[in-house]
Each structure stands twice: as C-alpha cells, then as structure tokens.
Structure 1
Amino acid sequence: MRLPQNRSTELDRGRLQEIRSQIVQVCRSLYSKGLIAGTDGNVSVRLSDEAILSTPSGVHKGFLEEEALVVVDRNGELIKGRERPSSELPLHLAIYGRDPDARAIVHAHPPWILALSLTGYKLQPHLVTEARMFLGRVAVVPFEKPGSSALAAAVLERLDQGLAQVMAHHGAVTRGSSLQKAFELMECLEHTARITALANLLGRPEPLPD
C-alpha cells in the first residue's frame, strides 16, 4: 500500500528505509542505556501531514526489527504493518496535532526521572550548563492513565512550556525537529535527573550563576 504523501514533498523509499533504521537504533539505545525495559516506551516519526511511522505495541524494544514498525494516519488508523499500534499512540497524535514543528517523539520510562517524580523532588536543570541550555523548563504532568485521552490532554496543557515533559508515576516524553534531537533530549533529561538526585543526596546543590 502506498503511503500518503506530503503535498509539498514526497517521501522516497530510500528515505523511509533510513527512518525505519533510525527508529530501531534509537529504541535499542534506549534499552541499552536503561531508559526503558522490555516492551516499555515508544518512538514515532512524522512522515508527512498524513502519515506517522511508529513502534508497535508489546514488542521488546531491545530486539526491535524494522519489519515490526507500523504506519498510521493522523487519526491513528493502521495504514501499513502487521503489528498492533502502540497504546500510547493517542499521546503522539495529540502532540503532532498541536505542534507543527514536532517531527519525532520519544517516550521512555527513565528510572532517575521516575525516582524524582515518585519522591516529590523537582528536576533541577539550572545545576548543569547543558541542561539549562537544552532542556529549559520541564513541566511535571500529574498522573493520568497511560494511553488515555486524559493523559494526552494533560500533556498538551503543558506543551508550550518546553520540549520535554515528565509524567508523574509514568515516565517522560520528548519531541524534536528530528528523531536524533528528541532522543538527545531524553538522554539529557535522565542525565540531569541523576545529577539532581545525587547532588541532593550529598548536600545542598549550588545553582549555576546567571
């Protein structure tokens, strides 16, 4: 089945294959770096105004194969693929619908981020130069059932606060103009959370000067 094409640009087969490879690589990196476990998390890339390439539901991301990826339309209907789309797809679709600059989304369950949200500690990007530059403000979204429209709505309420949101008792979601940028934000988020936790364990952390 032919993919729907953007009105202004056509996505050739070679480019689609490259994006598939990138998604698999990012998922395996998320797993190897401990940002997800097993079937946790999901990754998507906007192919055009009408098509999104996404990880499927219930597939171990550390062993993900390109053939398992699915293509859905902007309403979440399956266009191409054998697997069932991710249950978190409504969140991805909502973000793409709100932010036209978002080309890719990464959702993971980073342990240090989760540990902070479970204990009431706030992420402190102002402690680290790179975090202050790249993360900026990171909103914490109150808990809503994963995959629900309520969660998507809660994230959208805080979407304009930054490119990364922490979902209490759940994980985090990042978006970017490319999959690489969205992945780098997730890495930076978790690295900053680890520094925040360790610094507060050791004493009273000093913020960066203005």
Structure 2
Amino acid sequence: MSSSAEPREKLVNAMRELFFLGLINPRGGNGSVYLGEGWIAITPSGVGKQWLKPEELVLLNIETGELKGSLKPSIEVNAHVLTYKKINRARSVLHAHPPVTLALTDLFHDRDVWRPGRWWETGLIEVEYSVGKAEIAHPYPPGSVELANEVSDKFASGARLVIVPKHGVFAWGESVEEAMDAIVAIELVAKYVAVKSQLTRQNLLAL
C-alpha cells in the first residue's frame, strides 16, 4: 500500500468541494480512492464531509476485507469495492446527491414530460467531455448489495456516471478529479435543461 497521503488529501478536498457546491449534505455522499495493492481509502459513515480529515478515512483491502481505522466505512462501501474489482483503471469513486439532476430524473421517470428519452442528451460539450456515458439505475435501497451490483455493472458496461432515482449519482474516474468533473458537469447540464424549459414555457424565447 502506498504511503503517500496525496490521494487521500484529494479525496477529502473533493468531498469538501461537493459540500460547498450544494451537491451533498454534511453527512451525505461518500467517496473513495485506490491506494494500490488492493487497498482503498473510503469516507467514514456519519461524519460531516465539510470537516473531514485524511486520517479519518477508513482503509479497506478490497481483496481480503481487512479494515484499518476507528470509524465505520460508508454504507455504500459495496458499490465502491465492486467498481474497483470490475474496472482495473478506476482510481476513484464518488457518490453525491445533486438536486436538479435528481429532480429531472424523477420527473422524466414519473411522468415522461417534455420529451421522452434521456434528459441529459442535450449536445452540450459538458456531456461529451465530462459526463460521458450516463445510465439510470433501478432505485434499490441505499447500501444494498443489489444497488452495488446494479451500479458497478453499469460502470463495467461503459457508463461513467450512474443516476439512482430519488437517491443520488455515482461516478468513477481514473482520478478523483475525473470522477468529480462528471458529477459537477451533470448538475450543470441539469440546470441548463431546467432553465431552458422554464424560459420556453414563459415564451421568453420570442422576446
């Protein structure tokens, strides 16, 4: 296992940024980084992400199950572990709760309004370069093995980001920055779609 603390520091910084961007609540969301030799560092359960310190991260060996640290790993630990096992290039997994992304997904899923299909297919450059392929998962309960299998299978099939209705999004990357970029970008696209729809309904495009 690498002795470098840099990946852990990047993870802690990413979680703090997600909090200040309003994409997670203080104790919500989770993230992990791969440290090498089967070890990952994952955020602990129930700890405020805006104050999280690198030494509070839980160390887990995804091959042996060995844990190091005084805190419990995130409830979504299985989704993280399975992603690393199924994607050799994965170096980080992040989970957030972007509100506009979830609202649009729920709206399309519940009533199929505006237009059928995937609301994020806008042609915006953020989708092509930051989000990549996105998929919607079945809304299995948080922390369940079923959700972990669903999310990791969609990742293994080529998705960069997976949206879980009424729950949140998961993204993986070859770095913390890449995973975070996908989450921030999907929320920016969601805001674009929501604002454009509202402006169209108010006939502002005719002004």
TM-score normalised according to structure 2 size: 0.86
TM superposition shift of 1:183: 0.9
Provide the residue aligned with 1:167 in structure 2.
164
Aligned residue number for residue 182 of structure 2? 185
**Deviation (angstroms), 1:75:** 5.0
Contact 1:28-1:61 within 8 A present in 2 as well:
yes
Which residue does the alignment assign to 1:151? 147
After TM superposition, the structure 1 = structure 2 runs for residues 12-161 of structure 1, keeping only pairs within 5 Å, are 13=3, 15=4, 17-75=5-63, 77-120=65-108, 122-159=118-155, 160-161=157-158
What is the identity, as a one-letter code, of the residue corresponding to 2:59?
Answer: V
Distance 1:179 1:30 in 2: 12
Q: Distance in 2 between matches of 1:23 and 1:200?
A: 35
In 2, the alpha carbon distance for the partners of 1:80 and 1:131 equals 38
The residue identity in structure 2 corresponding to 1:145 is P
What is the identity, as a one-letter code, of the residue corresponding to 2:84?
A: Y
Residue 139 of structure 1 contacts residue 161 of structure 1 at CA under 8 Å; is this kept in 2?
no
Query: What SS does the aligned partner of 1:126 have?
Result: coil
Q: Provide runs of 4+ in structure 1 moved above 6 Å.
A: none
Report the alpha carbon displacement of residue 123 of structure 1 after superposing the two structures with TM: 3.0
| Deviation of the 1:114 alpha carbon | 1.1
Q: 1:157 to 1:77 in 2, by over 3 A?
A: closer
Q: Equivalents in 2 of 1:76, 1:35: separation in Å?
A: 32
Instruction: Determine the C-alpha separation between the residues in 2 that align with 1:120 and 1:158.
Output: 20
Give the structure-1-normalised TM-score.
0.85
**Aligned position for 1:208:** none
Q: Provide the secondary structure at the position in 1 that maps to 2:122.
A: helix
CA RMSD of aligned residues (A): 1.7
State the Cα distance separating 1:78 from its structure 2 match: 4.5
State how many pairs are aligned: 192
The 1:180/1:76 distance shift into structure 2, 3 A limit, reads farther
Q: In 1, distance between residues paired with 2:66 and 2:97? A: 25
CA distance in 2, matches of 1:124, 1:112: 12
Q: CA deviation at 1:134?
A: 2.7
Runs of 5+ unmatched residues, structure 2: 110-117, 202-207
Structure 1: tracts of 5 or more residues without a match? 6-10, 205-210
